[in-house]
Structure 1
Amino acid sequence: HTVSARWPASHPFYTQRSSRFSPLLFTETVRQALGLLAHTAYNVPPDYRMGWDSYRSSVDPEALRAHSGFSDVVLTVRHRSHKARRPGGPVRLMAEVDAVRDGAYLGTAEIHYTAFPPALYDRLRGGRTDSRTAFAEALRPEAPVPAHLVHRVRTGDVVLSPTPEENIWQLRTETSHRVLFDHPHDHVPGMVLLEAAHQASLLTVGSGEAQFTGARFD
């Protein structure tokens, strides 16, 4: 399948100080494309909940340069596996993605993910699936690490708080953030966790314009 996307000249969250897009914008594009295809190409019901089991990606840093005007991103998605154990049960999928931006190579990704029916998802979450209740009960975020240390301008874009221990940070869940929490969730979104890993990497590397060209989790 082929999925088209359009990137803006600048993104309010995923544009870095170096005038490049974060590689996580590619990840977010892949995430949205897989959600679209799961429902339209593989008939996964719209009330099923998606969960990623593993993810790895690689991007060309030159293809992440921001420039004036919109740019067209085209994803070629191949699902190598699509299994449902029984009718009404979870659906397990594995996808490989190749992407180009304005005709030039952008990156690749491989994702193993599962679509959970509502009843199973509720059991897995122990009944804690009310997103509005979860938002209302979310802990108030602690003070962030200095924004410039994670290449950010706005403190609201920082997802880590310092701790007394070296190279250990606390996750900040700023539920009012319009990109990371664009709607209520019953859990911390995976993109927030990936951004936290990204910022922790920057804190570990130290000063300078470090470039990250991929992501992986299992």
Structure 2
Amino acid sequence: MNTLAFERTAPRALVHRRAIGEVLLTDDWLRLGPHRFKVGAQWPRGHGFYGPIGDRWHNPLLAAESIRQASSLVSHVFYDLPRDHPTLMTELSIALDSHALRLDDWPVNVELTISCSDVTVRGNRLAGMTMHVGLARGTVSLGHGRMTLSCMRNSIYRRLRGAYAEVPASLPDQPAPLPPHEVGRAVEADVVLGRPLDGTGATDPREGVWPLRVNWAHPTLFDHPTDHVPGMLLLEAARQAAQCLAGPGVVLPATMVNRFHRYVEFDAPCLVRARLSDSPRGADAYEVLVAVEQNGVVAYECALTVHCAPASPGGPR
């Protein structure tokens, strides 16, 4: 039977999480074919960080984080990748149905149907693949996603990263945060965009430039120590930039195409540049293009399609 039970969370080590509350996947997984799998996830009605958008929709970044966790689980369980082998995302994309993201009175059990292509093995170890993921809640399609990753031995990773393979002792001073309501957040600790620095702010209201903020104390984005800025922090920076430009009402991402060109390091400032498309992509839908630059080089890019709606009486969540 190709059914999932959704009774318990997956082991933390399989999804590279330390806190049980940060594990979205369940301990249900099935092999459907040589490179096809089904994995369960449960999205809570209120997550500590990936909380509801406008009190109406599940946060689309729950889909992105579910796919990220699934990439780890599939690599370890079905391809026998050792748990100490680092993986690198080069692309993570989602396209979701906003109607299917609507909140109801219960947590949502999500089935991820995964097909892997371009599977590369060096020696007897997985070296990389692309995962094509369909997401569904019951018989209703939530949408789909795609993730491309590469894997390497820990010794090779440390040699390639050099001094950057070590977690630094401290962070440089961080910029002051934007007001939380401007980025669709309720608390300052969740804001990853800083107030524009002198000489870097955009003059066109369709554009924005902000310094990236890093907070090692954040329980979700830094669930465990890491030697570089996590990819999910960059996705959140893109979402917050879209909220700034397409707000002040509720801004719900429908699609995100994220490309990671290089590691974002902790020791140098980053600028988040965003531009709102001149023409809408349909009724109340707009495209936002985001790039994160470090040392004058683009390290990450995201193209978002977002839907805009009036703010709910309770304000952003």
Give TM-score scaled by structure 1 length.
0.92
Higher relative contact order (CA 8 A, sep 6+): 1
Cα drift, residue 4 of structure 1 = 0.5
Q: Which residue of 2 aligns with 1:112?
A: 148
Name the amino acid aligned to 1:2: K
Which amino acid is the alignment partner of residue 209 of structure 2?
A: I
1:59 and 2:96 aligned? yes
Instruction: Work out whether 1:151 is the aligned partner of 2:188.
Output: no
Alignment of 1:25-174 (within 5 A): 25-87=62-124, 91-131=127-167, 134=168, 136-163=169-196, 164=198, 165-166=201-202, 167-174=208-215
Partner Cα distance (1:115, 1:34) in 2: 11
SS of equivalent residue, structure 2 residue 228: coil
* CA-CA distance at 1:17 after TM superposition: 4.5
Residue in structure 1 matched with residue 247 of structure 2 by the alignment: 206
CA contact (8 A) 1:16 1:151 kept: no
> Going by fraction, where is helix more abundant, 1 or 2?
1
- Give the aligned residue type for 2:184: H
Name structure 1 gaps, 5 residues minimum: none
Q: Which runs of 5+ in 2 are unaligned?
A: 1-36, 203-207, 260-317
CA contact (8 A) 1:6 1:71 kept: yes
Runs of 4+ in 1 over 6 A off after TM superposition: none
Q: How does 1:13-24 map to 2 (within 5 A)?
A: 13-19=49-55, 20-24=57-61
* Percentage identity across paired residues of the two chains: 33
Q: Partner of 1:61: helix, strand, or coil?
A: coil
In the TM superposition, residue 97 of structure 1 has moved relative to its aligned partner by 0.3
Within the candidate set 183, 187, 193, 2:228 is matched to 187
| Bigger proportion of residues as strand | 2
Question: SS at 2:218's partner residue?
Answer: coil
Contact 1:10 1:66 in 2 (8 A): no
- The question of whether the paired residues in 2 share the 8 Å contact of 1:80 and 1:95 is answered with yes
* In structure 2, distance between residues paired with 1:202 and 1:173: 19
Looking at structure 2, the residues matched to 44 and 173 of structure 1 have their Cα atoms a distance apart, in angstroms, of: 30
